[in-house]
Every structure is written in C-alpha cells, then in structure tokens.
Amino acid sequence: MRLILLGAPGAGKGTVAKMLTKIDGSVQISTGDILRAAVKNGTDLGKKAKEFMDAGDLVPDELIMGIMKDRLREDDCKAGYLLDGFPRTIPQAEQLKVLLEEIGHKLDAVVNLNVPRDVILDRLTTRRTCTDCGAIYNVKSNPPKEEGKCDKCGGPVVQRDDETEEAISNRLDVYNEKTAPLADFYKGEGMLLDIEATSSDTVVDAIKGHVGI
C-alpha cells in the first residue's frame, strides 16, 4: 500500500505505520527519523536541520524535498510505503504530487488521525527516547526497567529537546497553522480518510477496510 499518514505530533502515526508495515511489507518513511539520524551523525543536512528541530519548527522545504526525492526511488519502496510526517505543508503536498507523477506512483489514501490536544500533550511530555537505538518509552505506561537506561541496548534514555511542554505546544501550534490544512487539500483531491485515532487497532482496521486488504 502507498499511504500518507497525517496527524499532529503524538497522534500515533509512527505506531500505526509500524503495524501496517507488518501486513504487506510496505516500508515506513519518517522524515523525522531521517533528520534525527542526520543530526546524530553530524552531516551537513543535520547541522542545518538541528536548530529548526530543537525549537519545534518545520525544517525548510528544500531540505525535506531533497531527502524524499532520493528516498522514494530506493528499491525497498517498490513494495509500498507509508509516509509518516510528510508532507507537512500545502507547498510540500503540491511538490509531492509532481514527484509521484514523475516516478509513476499513485497513492491509495491519505489518512488523517484525529486526537485531542490534551491527550497529545500528555503522551509527548511523558515520552522518553534512547539516544543510541531510538527505542521509545513512556514514564507512565512503559518506563524502562532501570530509570534512564534502555532495556534493549543499555543506552541513555532521555526526554528529547523537542518534547518539553514548551516545544510541544509550539509544535502543535505550527501543525495547526501549517499542516492541518492538508486535510482539506486532500479532501479536495478525493483521497482523505478521516479517523478518530484513540486506538491504533481501530485505525489499522479502518485503513485495511478502505484499501481492501
């Protein structure tokens, strides 16, 4: 399947994407993960992107589109892909439309995950991430067995700079201003699947029914 997953930070796009990849071998493509890897590795792209990410702002289009153009042409995308966190703006959506036409790809649907703001704030301010392997924990529902230490690799488990309450509030404001209008854009394209996303299982079932899996 080829899908775009829309939803505010913390809406569960990554969780849903991981569940969907197990169904038909589609790959999850998260611009956030790609950018964070670039920051960790100290690449030129990472250095440029870090200041935007730490503040919870959007990374400029020219950086993102360059990444996506290369990524969608890789061999593993032939089995299908789930775009997690991209596009984030109407201009990106328009550029993606052109790119997909260039490479001969057609999307099955654009899925919009709706989650209340207070639920998102609670999810993200309590989330912790291993700086070595990227494993995700939650101090309330899924803490590491040893505080501050990853169960999987033993690396340090920390709160990301962009998951403090101040940064999250800013990210949500940016999302509402620049990304939420994408739902109307894709509705106009006749591609939008709007889902109340309090349960990941419910979301996955709705998507499977929509694409006929």
73 belongs to the catalytic site: no
> How does DSSP classify residue 6?
E
145 belongs to the catalytic site: no
Cβ atoms of 149 and 157 within 8 Å: the answer is: yes
Cβ atoms of 16 and 26 within 8 Å: the answer is: no
13 belongs to the catalytic site: yes
88 belongs to the catalytic site: yes
Letter for the amino acid at 86?
F
Mutual angle of helices 13-24 and 200-211, in 10-degree steps: 50
Catalytic residue among 13, 36, 50, 123: 13
CA angle 28, 30, 34 (to 5 degrees): 120
CA 132 to chain centre: 19
**Helix, strand or coil, per DSSP, at residue 4:** strand
Q: Give me Rg for the CA atoms of the chain.
A: 17
Catalytic residue among 36, 50, 123, 127: 127
CA angle 159, 46, 138 (to 5 degrees): 20
Catalytic residue among 71, 160, 178, 187: 160
Catalytic residue among 36, 50, 128, 171: 171
117 belongs to the catalytic site: no
Catalytic residue among 2, 36, 50, 88: 88
Question: 9 - beta bridge partners?
Answer: none
Tally of CB atoms within 10 A around 83? 23
Hey, which residues are catalytic here? 13, 88, 127, 160, 171
